Amino acid sequence: MPRMSYQALARKWRPRDFATTVGQDHVVRALSNALEQQRLHHAYLLTGTRGVGKTTLARILAKALNCIGPDGNGGITATPCNQCEVCAAIDAGRFIDYIEMDAASNRSVDEMTALLERAVYAPSNARFKVYMIDEVHMLTSHAFNAMLKTLEEPPDYVKFILATTDPQKIPVTVLSRCLQFNLKQMTPTAISGRLTEILGLEGIGAEAAAVQMLARAARGSMRDGLSLLDQAIAYSGGTVTLATVQAMLGAVDGLTLVRLLDALAAGDATQMLAIADEMAARSFSFGQALRDLAGLLHRIALAQQAGVVGDDVVNAAEIQRLAGSFSPEEVQLYYQIALHGRNDLSLAPDEYAGFTMTLLRLLAFAPRDDAAPPTPQAAAPRAMAAGATTGSAPATLAAPKHAKSAKAAAPPLPGAEQWPELVARLQVAGLARELAAHSELLSSDDDHFRLRVSIKSYAEAGNVERLRAALAQHFGRPMRVSVAVGDTAGATTAAALAEQARSEKQKSAEQAIYADPFVKELIENFGAQVEPQSIRPRES
């Protein structure tokens, strides 16, 4: 019998034209209009997370530029025919004038120079020679410099399509030469709709709730969604059901989450830990469990404040009932605790310990009607944990009254000018230190540090929490931190001041070299040159 080859769904159902591209209408519309009006740029930059269609759109654009139509007489079009030899060759990856290069493995200046040398030759069998450079941010600085001139003024028959998951690492000199399109993460609704369509075309049955769970697990990536669907089909051996998808993903069923929240409402630590033991016995993913718990709390908050109760895993009646079991303030606090627990799971001794500590933290912050007023020793850590915020969101809980009286005798917090000096003394490392070093201090009143940073990735919740803990340790009392993302007044950040000091030391070192009599003699009498990169300031 001949051997049958199976083609993965992500490859089999990859969009072949703009009309079948899902979730990127803003990019499709702009490119289609440009093609129809013949307003063609020489370089395009596609940015976005993995699996949102960067390479797919590059191939469609290459076809649109070179399609010759079924009769061989077609021109540039926004609707490539997918029938002519050009379209077929690009789809098959064998079109000689469409060159895809992975910058992650071809990142040196020599490889870029070789590519650009080939660009001067006219296309052999096409209108345009199209170069697609994937993960372009991985190129070295010398490779970027090598491509600048060609990227700005390429031959009329050459088009560049650059793709990246990290545009912040691309030099601004390259960005300014490209027409930029930011591809969005796809919504679970868009992904589930496409998965349902493909299941119908494949003749495979599936429960709607199972498809929706796969769409959420894809986390914005259509490619990941199709790969998970492939896995679910193989795992189920037939109809894709919610039970098989939950088992495959290690996902917690909605009833388990409801039981957890019921035990939390009752203040029953024994029951919560028993449920955690059940989850461990069934090999549930604790990371996914905390993510799903945060999702459930989000839907409870929507039910409380917006009247939205629909859900595909936990029914509306349960959502409504849970919305009445907690106050809106409690739900907001529990949501933050679930998120922080998920972020800190990798730091725990093991996942079970991290998960159960998060459950105990939920209980520790649950209000008690018959509880005595907290002592200062007990209240301080509680206020400290509640004080951390991420993004530009406000703190969840206010500091206790006794903390305010204690602050009256405490030394004043630093202003913007003293912030860099404080950063140098903080006991913090890694990305949290980068956050501190690249931040501008906006204000520091009422034990609340308000910062602004220009690099969004530095403002992630885990970095903010570690910086908050370092500030609390430094000042010996609870602190709050909120971080906004935006342009900073460069010279006020610790990183900018450090760079300025380094630059001044470098300048002084260069001046000392050029002032040296021996060096002067070599330059004047022998035509010698000083290589600036070889000059290093003396370490003090």
CA distances from 39 to 31, 178, 314 (A): 9, 14, 50
Instruction: Calculate the CA 536 to chain-centre distance.
Output: 37
Distance CA 203, CA 283 (A): 31
What pTM value is reported for the model? Answer: 0.59
Helix/strand/coil (H/E/C) assignment for every residue in 147-216: HHHHHHCCCCCEEEEEEECCHHHCCHHHHCCCEEEECCCCCHHHHHHHHHHHHHHHCCCECHHHHHHHHH
Q: Give the contacts of 402 (CB within 8 A, at least 6 positions apart).
A: 376, 379
Averaged in consecutive runs of 10 residues, what is the pLDDT profile of the chain (540 residues)?
A: 69 90 90 92 91 92 92 90 92 90 82 84 88 90 86 88 90 89 90 92 90 88 91 88 85 84 92 91 87 91 81 71 89 92 89 93 75 40 40 40 45 79 85 87 87 86 87 86 81 73 74 77 74 66
Which tokens is 237 given? 């051996």
- Check residue 141 and give left, alpha or beta (phi > 0: left; psi -120 to 50: alpha): alpha
Judge whether 420 and 494 are in contact, CB under 8 Å. Answer: yes
Tally Cβ neighbours within 10 Å of residue 523.
13
101-116 burial string, b = 16+ CB within 10 Å, else e? bebeebbebebbeebb
Alpha helices in 250-327, H assignment, sequence order: 254-266, 269-281, 286-306, 316-323
C-alpha dist (Å) from residue 14 to 19, 50, 486, 520: 12, 14, 37, 65
- H or E stretch at 514: helix 494-515
| Single-letter amino acid, residue 87 | C
Per-residue pLDDT at 377: 41
